[in-house]
Structure 1
Amino acid sequence: AGTMQPPSASPCRGGVSWQGILLAVSLLTFWNPHPTAQLTIEPVPFDAAVETDVLLLVHNASQNTIGYYWFKGNTTEDSREIISYSILTQKINTGPAFSGRETLYTNGSLLFMNVTKEDTGFYTLRTLNNELSEGGRGRTGRQKLPKPNITINNSQPMEGEDSLALTCEPEISYATYLWKINSQTITDGDRLKLSNNNRTLTLFSVTRNDTGPYECETQNPVSASRRDPLTLNISYGPDAPIINPPDSHIRPGTNLNLSCHADSNPPAQFSWSFNGRPLESTQELSIPNLSTNNSGSYVCVAHNSVTNLHRTTTKNISISGKWTREHSIKCWVEP
């Protein structure tokens, strides 16, 4: 690391006063066991005029480099970070010292646009190599990430009633959080909101289609770690029951077999009534040997014990037509 002194006098060009700016650079490279050519940084141009662009050009970066971090000042304090790039995740993140005029290239070089006098000073580049030992990193949040976990603020949300907050744990400084549903990256939408540094995913007014599976992934320049897919248990229904078979005209003397189905989570409980009179509480209803007295309204009631909702469907059945009887004949054959 070295500091370059500003020129003692500002030169004049063409009779116009020239205001110069000089950027000094330091390097912080954590333990590289196989050094080759020395990593250097060259300001281009070396002495830039105000309102021009300056490139801090990186030379001889190690092939093992997996991250670049630029800081304003002779420091690597988090609060002085300008911008960083992770080669593993191919993501650029801006820090508290980012002014909006800096551009970081994938080779670590940093471009300043429209430099001002305030940009004069010291800049520090910190590089990370993938050969770092745990003790060599020297900074919290740079180690390998633990497997994240998802916490939910409501273990049994109800469709159309509840909103849901999913939080990726643990909270790790210097980690970025990414959510996926069905392997597709989640972004903010009408019913989805990412907050808390993207650690928290809020689903507004959940529906049965929001079950997932959801994945939370944490990333830092050293590693990425993903949660096993999580499927939500969303209570819904019952929907209006469907009674099968669809026939409504049945001959006397035959058997009546009706079944009732309703989409519901947890599964619905069923009960039947005939002309307002309760019958059994089963999903299937069987009445043998029909007579005209069995004509009337058959009602299936579906009930969800968690949502506490009831839905009914009525089927009118007419028993009419010629009464038929089956005969069985046994034939005996003498030996």
Structure 2
Amino acid sequence: MGRLPGSWDPPAWSGPWKGLLLAASVLSSCLQPVPAQTPTPTPVTITPASPALGGNVSLAPQNVAQNFTSCNWHRSTTNDETSRILTYFPPPNPVQHNGPAHTGRETAGPGCALHIAGLTLSDTGNYTTLAPIPHGGAGTRSNALSVPCTEMLPRPTVTPNQTLVLENGTFTLRCNSSPSADTVLWLRDGASLTPSERLVLSPDNRTLTVLGVTRSDGGTYQCEVGNPVSTNRSEPSTVTVAYGPASVRIDPPGPITLTLGSPLTLTCVADSVPVPSYCWGLNGTDTNQTGSSLTFNPMTLDHQGTYECWAHNPITNRTVLVSVTARTRCGAAPVPPTPSPPCRLTTRGHNECDSLPG
């Protein structure tokens, strides 16, 4: 009588075929090792060879008959019902029956391979499978596989001692990561950094000190940690280098010729980080105008003279003055065209354009 649908029978130790006991130990270097067994050929292949906490692992028994009808996996060497993880029936109608030791993370596949996802330290132990060998036969083999406890590294973080640094100053960055990280690399704007006289690493590479800071040292810093099973990179941490103002100028450059009644905008441009504050003066007198641009409409000769721009960086406490000269000219007569008349100070007590008698 055939097997009823949905039912299962644990494979027998005797019958038409003899069983082969295959065992693998998923061990952790973080825990006490399982006592060593007599060295024999390893009957189970474990992939990857160094499973990691939080990762996945596959245990594949070797020398299994291609036409096997079922197999059991146990989390022990006793093979009792309480230690049974699952029973697997292969294609063409694959079925998996979970046992008392199933955690919800184990599945079986072709060749009676056992797959465990999301490894935890509780998965450490001996794993045993019973499956037929080709052409029958008798005998058991077992071997303990020592698998190191290697952590899937969490994402590290970078802690700068300051995020706004003065040019020619010093700053440090700390890579905060799991102790199980074997390697620590540093990157700026995505490119790896090489230690130098200015870029100094601590013995464990977890602290980066930048000496004699230059403008090119500004950017986003990251650390990348690694171990045999994983790598992870921190989120970018931005460091800004404060400098300037330098290379200050006024656009348009002088000398400037003003036309009465024609608006003019002067723009103060300074190479500075952070952006400086600006104030404007005319002939040494504060115009009470701020901002990088000054717009005015010259209506009298009072608008000519020397325009000054002060650029001040509150972080570097540096102030730079730049100036430009502006002269006023009178507009030409509309009809007929004649040369532009000269300007003079009139008797009405203010500067204006007027035509001198011919």
- TM-score, normalised relative to structure 1: 0.55
Report the Cα offset of residue 217 of structure 1: 1.0
- Of 143, 164, 168, the residue aligned with 2:151 is 143
| AA matched with 2:119 | S
Which position in structure 2 is the counterpart of 1:248? 255
- Of 311, 315, 321, the residue aligned with 2:320 is 311
Please state if 1:205 is matched with 2:205.
no
Q: Is the 8 A contact 1:299 1:313 kept in 2?
A: yes
Structure-1 separation of matches of 2:159 and 2:147: 27
Report the Cα offset of residue 206 of structure 1: 1.9
Larger radius of gyration: 2
**Whose relative contact order is higher, 1 or 2, with alpha carbons under 8 Å and at least 6 apart?**
2
- Of 292, 297, 303, the residue aligned with 2:306 is 297
- Of 26, 38, 43, the residue aligned with 2:41 is 38
% same residue: 29
Which position in structure 2 is the counterpart of 1:286? 295
Q: What is the root-mean-square deviation in Å for CA atoms of aligned residues?
A: 3.5
Structure-1 separation of matches of 2:191 and 2:157: 19
Please state if 1:133 is matched with 2:119.
yes
Structure-2 separation of matches of 1:274 and 1:301: 11
Structure-2 separation of matches of 1:303 and 1:290: 30
- Of 230, 234, 237, the residue aligned with 1:230 is 237
1:96-245 aligned within 5 A: 133-135=119-121, 136=124, 142-160=150-168, 162-170=169-177, 172-245=179-252
Report the Cα offset of residue 140 of structure 1: 9.7
Deviations 1:244-273 (A, max 9, x none): 122523144133321112132222110011
289-298 or 210-219, larger mean C-alpha shift: 289-298
Distance 1:142 1:64, change over 3 A: closer
Q: Is the 8 A contact 2:163 2:238 kept in 1?
A: no
Report the Cα offset of residue 204 of structure 1: 1.1
Distance 1:167 1:325, change over 3 A: farther
Report the Cα offset of residue 158 of structure 1: 1.2
Distance 1:264 1:249, change over 3 A: closer
Structure-2 separation of matches of 1:64 and 1:171: 21
Q: Is the 8 A contact 2:254 2:324 kept in 1?
A: no
Report the Cα offset of residue 132 of structure 1: 9.2
Report the Cα offset of residue 229 of structure 1: 1.9
Q: Is the 8 A contact 2:151 2:180 kept in 1?
A: no
Q: Is the 8 A contact 1:141 1:174 kept in 2?
A: no
Q: Higher strand fraction: Structure 1 or Structure 2?
A: 2
Distance 1:139 1:274, change over 3 A: farther
Which position in structure 2 is the counterpart of 1:12? none
Please state if 1:323 is matched with 2:293.
no
Which position in structure 2 is the counterpart of 1:275? 283
Structure-1 separation of matches of 2:182 and 2:117: 19
Q: Is the 8 A contact 1:134 1:143 kept in 2?
A: no
Q: Secondary structure at the match of 2:150?
A: coil
Which position in structure 1 is the counterpart of 2:49? 65
